Amino acid sequence: MSEAVTTATVEHPAPAEHAEPTFLLWNAGGWVALAMLAVFALMIWKKVPAAIGKALDSKIDVIRQQLAEAESLRKDAEALKAEYEAKAKSAEKEAAAIVERAKHDAEAIVAQAKVNAEALVERRQRMAEEKIAAEERAAVEKLRATAADAAREAAARIIRERVDASADEVLVGDAIRSIGAR
């Protein structure tokens, strides 16, 4: 069985031109254009573009004010930053000056303490020397007193041993004459 394939071509009729609908001699595109013109004319008559311009101008002014305020705030912030940096540098310089002053004060205190210590040592040495000298004088005086007592006792003993009553009379007479001669 063999079947034959047949191809059939169907012919379509050529499209027929059809007429566009119109109204008062205008087609749809013309009416759309006319409506657009009417809308634009109404917008211009009601001053919509001016209102849009004013709205945009006011918005631009608000943005400009915000930008100016932001610029002012930025300048203020930079001024504050510079001020605080200057204060920080000043504080560092002041701290360095305080440390330097403290070093000088400490050196002065150490020097004064050294001078005071030397003066104290000298004063105590002088006091010790004076005390030693006083002790020496006291010892010399005691020694002299002891020597004088010993000499007196020795003289008295010698006198007792060597001088008798007749010698006493001669000595007393010599003493009286020496007192009277004066």
- Cα radius of gyration rounded to whole Å, the chain: 70
Residue 129 is encoded by which pair of tokens? 């020397």
Type of residue numbered 47: K
User: Whole domain around residue 89: which residue ranges?
Assistant: 28-170
Query: What is the model's pLDDT at position 36?
Result: 93
Q: Does residue 14 sit within a domain? A: no
Q: Does residue 87 sit within a domain? A: yes
HSE-up of residue 153 (Cα within 13 Å, Cβ side): 5
Query: What is the model's pLDDT at position 79?
Result: 94
Q: Does residue 132 sit within a domain? A: yes
Q: Does residue 176 sit within a domain? A: no
Q: Does residue 99 sit within a domain? A: yes
Q: Does residue 22 sit within a domain? A: no
Show pLDDT as tens, one digit a residue, over the chain (182 residues). Answer: 555 555 556 566 656 676 677 767 778 888 889 899 998 888 888 787 777 888 888 999 999 999 999 999 999 999 999 999 999 999 999 999 999 999 999 999 999 999 999 999 999 999 999 999 998 888 888 888 888 888 888 877 877 777 677 777 787 888 888 888 76
Query: What is the model's pLDDT at position 4?
Result: 54
Q: Does residue 136 sit within a domain? A: yes
- Residue 65: name the closest of 57, 76, 55 by CA: 57
Query: What is the model's pLDDT at position 6?
Result: 57
**Which residues, in sequence order, are bridge partners of residue 26?**
23
Residue 61 is encoded by which pair of tokens? 């002014």
pTM summary value: 0.36
What domain count does the chain have? 1
Q: Does residue 139 sit within a domain? A: yes
CA-CA distance, 120 to 124, in Å (whole number)? 6
Opening angle at CA 116, ends 114 and 118, nearest 5: 70
Query: What is the model's pLDDT at position 18?
Result: 67
CA-CA distance, 83 to 90, in Å (whole number)? 10
